[in-house]
Chain A
Amino acid sequence: MEKVQEPNRNLAESKARQLCGFRIGKDFYAIPVLEVQEVVKPQVKTSVPLAPEYIDGLINLRGQVVTAINMRRLLKIEDDYNEEDYMNIIVKHSDGLYSLVVDEVLDVMEVEMDRFSETPPTLEANIKNYIHGVFKLEDKLLILLNLNKVFEIKK
């Protein structure tokens, strides 16, 4: 039987290039495009009492319960923004569906691996945890998220 190729989460080590970019605050982030199930507009949310504050709540995506993670709060990005204006990036993970709540979804982009570099050591440790590394694009820096860590919800 032919071996089915799994989408590799650890992009830093693979040659995957297609990324889904998005904006949180003033920074640009990305995840491998194969991780993205779909992008949906704001939905009615049910908050989860006593959960970590960056859990925005649960949303109903056509009968599936999705856990929404507020990326702003997770990455501690604090500047003025419009609470109502956001997008859900739906990502399928081993224990269910998650939504990354971000400010704006950018295009799917092709990025070459030679633009990649490891996370700079000077970043705050708890933020660095969520990041694989950075793509140095011509006009901006694109931060590659480590989804496994993002979904590892701790109190």
Chain B
Amino acid sequence: MNDLNQKILEEFLIESFENLSSISEELTRYEKSPDDSELLNGIYRKVHTLKGSASFLGYSTLEKITHLTEDCLNKLQEGELTINSSMTDVLLESFDNCLTILKEIEKTNKEPENDFSDLINKINNIDTKVDEPITLNEDENNEASLLQFEVSKDNHFKEEVVEAKPEVVKESTVEVVKKEEIKTSDDVNTMSQTSAAVDSTIRVNVSLLDKIMNVVGELVLNRNQILQYTQLADDSELTRLGHQLNVITTELQTDIMTTRMQPVGSVFSKFERIVRDLAKNQKKKIALEILGGETELDKSLLEVIKDPMTHLIRNAADHGIEFPEERLRKGKPESGKLVIKAYHEGGQVNIDIIDDGNGLSREKILKKAISKGIVNEEDSEKMSDSKVYNLIFAPGFSTAETVTNISGRGVGMDVVKSNIEKVSGKVEVLSVEGQGSTFRLKIPLTLAIVPALIVNGGDETFALPQKNLVELVLLSREDGHKIEKIHGNDFYRLRGELIPIFYLNKSLKIKDSEEAPSFINIVFLKAEGSIYGLVVDNVRDTQEIVVKPLSSGIKTDNIFAGATLMGDGRVALIIDAFGFYNMFNTQHDKSDIDDISDKESGEFKEEAFELLLCQLGDNRLYGVPLCLVNRLEDFELNKIVWSGDQALIKYRDQAMPLLNIEKSLSLNESGVLDRLKSEEKSDHKVFIIVVDIGTRNVGLVVDNILDIANLNDVVDDKNSDREGIMGTIFANEKLISVLDIHKLYSFLNKNEKNQSSFDFTGKKFLVVDDSSFYRKIITDLLVSCGAQVTMFKDGADAYDDVKTNLAQYDFLVTDIQMPKMNGNILADKVRELDNGENLPILAVSTLTKEEDTSSFSGRMKKFDQKKFLELVSDLI
């Protein structure tokens, strides 16, 4: 397709997406207020535009659907039909399908080949009652080469399209469409409105706005530099010009910022549809109220809050608001109320999502949190309500007892929190049990330019964002005793409240400047509800600073939110008040969930491995070594066949045995499968982890699959209380029982012969690895192929043995990084032994690149079972 066409197509796509994005919401609104003919006209116009463009570009399926939809809307306009719920459904479906088609066009330039006849039938059926034959004008029909079908349904609009046709040649699609729009509109008012809108707005690429924003950022810096310079120079004309520049720049900056501002309503209106669908699906009654939709927010921020908000709203509708019967029983009105409210507060925008449903249950949350090991029972009693409520943002937490397809996978709330925090926003939750809950998102107005307080520590300059600033206190040296000590920690009594004090220089290990400052400057900062004081050497002034990102390597601890450039051209670091507090607050509250995420960025030891976390019936966390996992699948219960007591499922044309882990572990008399079977939900999904045992697939039946944990700790095998559990390990302070898959498999298959295609029967292996986890996995794998294995946990022990018993072994598998003697030295030393050069040595390591000796016969990365077995059988 040539460039011009491509451009027209792009324009078409942009416009159509824009139109369709709001159309569903408008329709849902119209359903509620069918008297609003203006709204209907708007919807009608949009569909008509789409139809026109589709026909011009030759997208026949899209044209057909829009054409029929338009017909239907026309009848609404004429009063031949009145809107009802099922009609809305069909119309919404048709809009959804249009979107699908457009997305496909965007990708491939072609319409999808799906069959839309079902939808077309549905639309046709809406208006069967009023469908009347329309006579068709012969000559028009001939001329309408662009409209290839369904013309007979509607001659009114065909005329318009045809009329517009000659202009198509010389003007872009958009304009043509606009003209049609104007002509087709019967309503004079709308016409003038539309054209006014066309004249006074233009569409600007967001990336261009971003670029302008960046340049203005540079300009602001430059202005700051010039202002600083003019203050030094004794030239009144220069000072005057500098002042002027200051005013103009500030104005430009504000204006540019406003171009990026968009009313939050554009996002909110999407929720009308979501809530409507949810309520219908769940057979609940929910009235959605949107307030403050005109509040404006930076466009990039709007994008970011969309998903978290959707999640919160789904949650509120799904878990928060009760079913009508339950509501009546509780003496609440039958219809639940969901309010979305946006408003300005203290330099930021707050968005409240308020429901009058169940509210959060302290008990339930605590029970869940304790069972997941997020808090311990002792601490839980002392926790304030708000702290308890905040637990729902912990990773892996979900209170809904059953997981619906709407919400509640237990991965949502922590994502909500982290997404909002990414744009330096906050999420707060207020709740009264039984009466409802409020989620409050606090979003900064913009990100790029922020007012900040400039301070000194030693010879360094730092910026403290104004939004964290509470107040400044200046103490003379003589008043130094007002900073009091408890156990070596410093505190200051600020109007009776005991506030912890940190020292900037000491915390950041900055050298004090030579002359001690004559005053003690304390900057009080607030961070996530805590207030603390920071002693700095000098407080300079406040400035509008431009936030520049830091490279990922140096922001790991989150002490710094970024960097900025000062008037003198030097770089200054921006202190992240919250990150700083977390870093230096020594009285870390262990139950504080914020710790969990911080720990994740901790140091890595070399021997990392991954566990797939899942749940069985008992709410504990179980881990399956990820290197054994082949795929994750879900099957409907009725797909499972039973051979005696053994459940099987057809998987890749083979019967795959399913392991009822709970039974095998004797956790439960009945496993997940039995439970589901007895509930007789034959279409219930069963989660299955397909693991490789040797070369065979086995399905593990689990209640729920949660997450993957990346661990570098040692699996503690002392706490293995039963056969089938390899040991335990902590991840994010949660206890995980690591499943011993080979053992579990052996329960299943006491009689079955090894089916592996690799056979090492009679071979003796020496396995050396300091990680008990990998030692076990390698050994089990080899044993399952008939080999005999001797294990050692470091090179030194292994060498002691192999020194004397070399002749006994047929193969040596070794890790490289090990205490006492590493794999390289071990291999070298083995080679030096008599006949040592003949022993195959395979190095298995987590690291990809490292020193390794030529003594190895082969090496591989940890850990691919199949590759391992192939390598072994090649080398042996």
Interface residues of A (CB under 8 A from B): 44-52, 55, 57-60, 63-65, 67, 93, 95-98, 121, 123, 125, 128-129, 151-155
In the complex the two chains form, is A48's CB within 8 Å of B573's CB? yes
In the complex the two chains form, is A50's CB within 8 Å of B557's CB? yes
In the complex the two chains form, is B509's CB within 8 Å of A49's CB? yes
In the assembled complex, the Cα of A46 lies from the Cα of B554 at a distance in Å of 13
- Chain A CB within 8 A of B571 CB: yes
The chain B residue with its CB closest to the CB of A97 is B551
The chain A residue with its CB closest to the CB of B603 is A155
The chain A residue with its CB closest to the CB of B553 is A153
Taking the nearest CB of chain A, how far is it from the CB of B556, in angstroms? Answer: 7
In the complex the two chains form, is B551's CB within 8 Å of A60's CB? no
In the complex the two chains form, is B554's CB within 8 Å of A67's CB? yes
In the assembled complex, the Cα of A123 lies from the Cα of B218 at a distance in Å of 45
Query: How many inter-chain residue pairs (CB < 8 Å) link A and B?
Result: 83
Partner of B551, one of A57, A63, A98, A129: A98
- List of A residues within 8 angstroms of B510 by Cβ: 49
In the complex the two chains form, is A46's CB within 8 Å of B218's CB? no
In the complex the two chains form, is A51's CB within 8 Å of B554's CB? yes
Taking the nearest CB of chain B, how far is it from the CB of A123, in angstroms? Answer: 8
- Chain A CB within 8 A of B114 CB: no
Taking the nearest CB of chain B, how far is it from the CB of A105, in angstroms? Answer: 22
A-B contact pairs, 5 of them (CB 8 A): A45-B571, A58-B550, A60-B570, A63-B218, A65-B549
- Chain A CB within 8 A of B354 CB: no
In the complex the two chains form, is B548's CB within 8 Å of A152's CB? no
- List of A residues within 8 angstroms of B549 by Cβ: 65, 95-96
In the complex the two chains form, is A58's CB within 8 Å of B563's CB? yes
In the assembled complex, the Cα of A65 lies from the Cα of B569 at a distance in Å of 11
In the assembled complex, the Cα of A36 lies from the Cα of B572 at a distance in Å of 25
Interface of B is mostly: loop
- Residues of B217-275 at the interface with A, using a CB-CB cut-off of 8 Å, are 218, 221
In the complex the two chains form, is B851's CB within 8 Å of A50's CB? no
In the assembled complex, the Cα of A67 lies from the Cα of B570 at a distance in Å of 13
In the complex the two chains form, is B603's CB within 8 Å of A50's CB? no
In the assembled complex, the Cα of A63 lies from the Cα of B461 at a distance in Å of 17
- Chain A CB within 8 A of B11 CB: no
The chain A residue with its CB closest to the CB of B850 is A125
In the assembled complex, the Cα of A137 lies from the Cα of B461 at a distance in Å of 46
The chain A residue with its CB closest to the CB of B851 is A125
- Residues of B693-734 at the interface with A, using a CB-CB cut-off of 8 Å, are none
Taking the nearest CB of chain B, how far is it from the CB of A83, in angstroms? Answer: 17
- Chain A CB within 8 A of B544 CB: no
In the complex the two chains form, is B551's CB within 8 Å of A67's CB? yes
- List of B residues within 8 angstroms of A47 by Cβ: 460
In the complex the two chains form, is A95's CB within 8 Å of B552's CB? yes
- List of B residues within 8 angstroms of A60 by Cβ: 565, 569-571
In the assembled complex, the Cα of A121 lies from the Cα of B548 at a distance in Å of 41
**Interface-centre pick from B570, B571, B573, B852 (highest chain A CB count, 10 A):** B571
**Interface-centre pick from A45, A59, A96 (highest chain B CB count, 10 A):** A96
The chain B residue with its CB closest to the CB of A67 is B551
In the assembled complex, the Cα of A98 lies from the Cα of B551 at a distance in Å of 8
Knowing A55-B554, A153-B551 touch, does A49 contact B569 (C-beta < 8 A)?
A: no
In the complex the two chains form, is B221's CB within 8 Å of A63's CB? yes
- Residues of B536-554 at the interface with A, using a CB-CB cut-off of 8 Å, are 548-554
In the complex the two chains form, is A44's CB within 8 Å of B554's CB? no
- List of B residues within 8 angstroms of A155 by Cβ: 556, 603
The chain A residue with its CB closest to the CB of B214 is A63
Knowing A63-B221, A67-B551 touch, does A44 contact B573 (C-beta < 8 A)?
A: no
- Chain A CB within 8 A of B849 CB: yes
- List of A residues within 8 angstroms of B853 by Cβ: 121
Knowing A50-B508, A59-B571, A96-B549 touch, does A65 contact B554 (C-beta < 8 A)?
A: no
In the assembled complex, the Cα of A155 lies from the Cα of B555 at a distance in Å of 11
Bitwise interface map of B from 778 to 809 toward A, beta carbon under 8 Å scored 1, else 0:
00000000000000000000000000000000
- Residues of B555-613 at the interface with A, using a CB-CB cut-off of 8 Å, are 556-557, 559-560, 563, 565, 569-573, 603
The chain B residue with its CB closest to the CB of A151 is B553
In the assembled complex, the Cα of A154 lies from the Cα of B570 at a distance in Å of 25
- List of A residues within 8 angstroms of B569 by Cβ: 44, 60
- List of B residues within 8 angstroms of A95 by Cβ: 549, 551-552
The chain A residue with its CB closest to the CB of B565 is A60
- List of B residues within 8 angstroms of A153 by Cβ: 551-554, 556
Taking the nearest CB of chain B, how far is it from the CB of A21, in angstroms? Answer: 24
In the assembled complex, the Cα of A48 lies from the Cα of B563 at a distance in Å of 10
In the assembled complex, the Cα of A129 lies from the Cα of B851 at a distance in Å of 9
- List of A residues within 8 angstroms of B556 by Cβ: 153, 155
In the complex the two chains form, is B509's CB within 8 Å of A50's CB? yes
- List of A residues within 8 angstroms of B559 by Cβ: 49-50
Taking the nearest CB of chain A, how far is it from the CB of B535, in angstroms? Answer: 15
- Residues of B838-853 at the interface with A, using a CB-CB cut-off of 8 Å, are 849-853
Taking the nearest CB of chain B, how far is it from the CB of A130, in angstroms? Answer: 11
The chain B residue with its CB closest to the CB of A44 is B570
- List of B residues within 8 angstroms of A44 by Cβ: 569-570
In the assembled complex, the Cα of A121 lies from the Cα of B859 at a distance in Å of 15
- List of B residues within 8 angstroms of A55 by Cβ: 553-554
In the assembled complex, the Cα of A46 lies from the Cα of B572 at a distance in Å of 7
The chain B residue with its CB closest to the CB of A94 is B552
The chain A residue with its CB closest to the CB of B559 is A50
In the complex the two chains form, is B554's CB within 8 Å of A48's CB? yes
- List of B residues within 8 angstroms of A45 by Cβ: 571
- List of A residues within 8 angstroms of B509 by Cβ: 49-50
The chain B residue with its CB closest to the CB of A96 is B551
In the assembled complex, the Cα of A129 lies from the Cα of B847 at a distance in Å of 11
In the assembled complex, the Cα of A152 lies from the Cα of B604 at a distance in Å of 13
In the assembled complex, the Cα of A35 lies from the Cα of B852 at a distance in Å of 30
In the assembled complex, the Cα of A95 lies from the Cα of B550 at a distance in Å of 8
In the complex the two chains form, is A121's CB within 8 Å of B852's CB? yes
Partner of B553, one of A49, A50, A64, A152: A152
Taking the nearest CB of chain B, how far is it from the CB of A140, in angstroms? Answer: 25
Taking the nearest CB of chain B, how far is it from the CB of A47, in angstroms? Answer: 7
Known: A51-B554, A60-B570. 7 other contacts (CB 8 A): A44-B569, A46-B570, A49-B510, A58-B563, A65-B565, A95-B549, A153-B554
- List of A residues within 8 angstroms of B557 by Cβ: 50
Taking the nearest CB of chain A, how far is it from the CB of B728, in angstroms? Answer: 28
Taking the nearest CB of chain B, how far is it from the CB of A98, in angstroms? Answer: 7
Taking the nearest CB of chain B, how far is it from the CB of A53, in angstroms? Answer: 11
In the assembled complex, the Cα of A154 lies from the Cα of B604 at a distance in Å of 10
The chain B residue with its CB closest to the CB of A64 is B548
In the complex the two chains form, is A46's CB within 8 Å of B573's CB? yes
In the complex the two chains form, is A65's CB within 8 Å of B550's CB? yes
In the complex the two chains form, is A46's CB within 8 Å of B460's CB? yes
- List of A residues within 8 angstroms of B548 by Cβ: 64-65
Taking the nearest CB of chain B, how far is it from the CB of A150, in angstroms? Answer: 10
Bitwise interface map of B from 70 to 103 toward A, beta carbon under 8 Å scored 1, else 0:
0000000000000000000000000000000000
In the assembled complex, the Cα of A128 lies from the Cα of B850 at a distance in Å of 8
In the assembled complex, the Cα of A48 lies from the Cα of B575 at a distance in Å of 11
Taking the nearest CB of chain A, how far is it from the CB of B824, in angstroms? Answer: 9
Taking the nearest CB of chain A, how far is it from the CB of B447, in angstroms? Answer: 16
In the complex the two chains form, is A121's CB within 8 Å of B551's CB? no
- List of A residues within 8 angstroms of B508 by Cβ: 49-50
In the assembled complex, the Cα of A45 lies from the Cα of B460 at a distance in Å of 10
In the complex the two chains form, is A129's CB within 8 Å of B554's CB? no
Taking the nearest CB of chain B, how far is it from the CB of A40, in angstroms? Answer: 14
- List of A residues within 8 angstroms of B573 by Cβ: 46, 48-49, 58
- List of B residues within 8 angstroms of A121 by Cβ: 851-854
- List of A residues within 8 angstroms of B563 by Cβ: 46, 58, 65
In the assembled complex, the Cα of A59 lies from the Cα of B565 at a distance in Å of 9
Taking the nearest CB of chain A, how far is it from the CB of B613, in angstroms? Answer: 26
- List of A residues within 8 angstroms of B849 by Cβ: 128-129
- List of A residues within 8 angstroms of B554 by Cβ: 48, 51, 55, 67, 153
The chain B residue with its CB closest to the CB of A62 is B218
Bitwise interface map of B from 460 to 479 toward A, beta carbon under 8 Å scored 1, else 0:
11000000000000000000
The chain B residue with its CB closest to the CB of A124 is B851
In the assembled complex, the Cα of A123 lies from the Cα of B573 at a distance in Å of 37
Taking the nearest CB of chain B, how far is it from the CB of A74, in angstroms? Answer: 12
